[in-house]
Amino acid sequence: SKRKWFSLIYDETCDESTLEQLCVGIRSVNDNYEIFEDVLGPYELSRQNAETIVEVIFDILTRCGLNISASRGQSYDGASSMSGIYGGVSALVLKQQSKAFFVQCNADCLDLATIDFVRRSPKRLAILKEISNQLSMPYSNLTSLCPTRRTMRAEPYNSLLINYELAIQNLNYVYLFILLLIFLAWFQEALYTLIEEKGGPGIRANGLHEQMSKFYFFFRLKLGYLLFSATEKLSRIIQSSRCCLQDVFSSAESLIRYFERIRENESLTDKPILERHRRPPKRYQSGSDSVEFSSYEQFYRQQYMESLEIAVNMLQNRFTQKNFKLLCN
């Protein structure tokens, strides 16, 4: 091939027979700046440490007639065995070829930024697990959350928003499994999964019905859709085979500016009711009193601003890798 320079892309995966394999690909560009991605195939790993992975990679390059000296980049996830700066795969490859700059997988960066955002949110872990069966009512199915891509959350949020009224009406008749997958990072506690047991489904369905009837549920649903509909667009862009690093950098900056712009918007219009302030039992108090808000506008504005601020900070942290500006220039 006339495409002399290339970058390495690899990731570990487990097949159906539980064998650990390394999937290796190369990315190259021709004189017309057309991008090509070629999969060299999965290769079984005897061990999963960095030395074994590097040995397999060099063996693959030798078999394919490729020289590591022509490598100008390497990309994979942020696991310590892969991206560790001392004994990781990236460090070992750099010892052989100092020009093979490491860039962490962009989709993985966005996933990690989303994970960090959820973990640092003051009210987190809102999971209403998946719908296992369609409701026996004229009701359209809710979309399950993607189990491997945390940024692909907009469609499930939107599907519940569209069917919100029907969902509330039908909850009183549920007697099968209900696992309503909605990723709401601000719930105080996860709602229980409805299972086929005597007396249980009706009680839990009523509890879910009551939660969905409250303003804060709908507010957080709308806020989640606002955040994830934007990050999902960025996720689609950075996973395109024709996307270059400059596109990634520009798209991430555009998303950050968008979040900052809507964070400064003063048009919060609804008139919800502020919930009664609850004091935790003394045995759970850490010495500092919980924050008490004087108005519902202040309460929901604080959640709105804090969520956007966390999202912006996580995006800035994940998309400021030291090699980004060097490679873009």
Q: Which DSSP string do the residues of 94-160 spell out, in sequence order?
A: HHH-TT-EEEE-HHHHHHHHHHHHHHTSSS--EE-----S--SSS-PPPPPPPSS-TT--HHHHHHH
Tell me what pLDDT residue 30 has. Answer: 84
Q: For the chain, which residues score pLDDT lower than 50?
A: 123-142, 169-198
pLDDT digits (tens, 9 = 90+) for 176-219: 223 333 333 333 333 333 333 345 555 666 666 677 677 777 77
Q: In this predicted model, what pLDDT tens digit does every residue of 2-45 receive, in sequence order? A: 778 888 887 777 767 767 788 888 888 888 888 888 888 788 87
Whether the CB-CB separation of 109 and 239 falls below 8 Å is answered with no
pLDDT score, position 271 = 59
CATH topology (fold) of 6-104? Nucleotidyltransferase; domain 5 (3.30.420)
Task: Tell how strand 20-29 and strand 35-44 pair up.
Answer: antiparallel
Q: What's the confidence (pLDDT) of residue 83? A: 67
Residue with tokens 């309503």: 180
Asked whether the beta carbons of 6 and 26 are under 8 A apart, the reply is yes
- Domain borders along the chain are 6-104, 105-329
Residue 148: its pLDDT value, please? 52
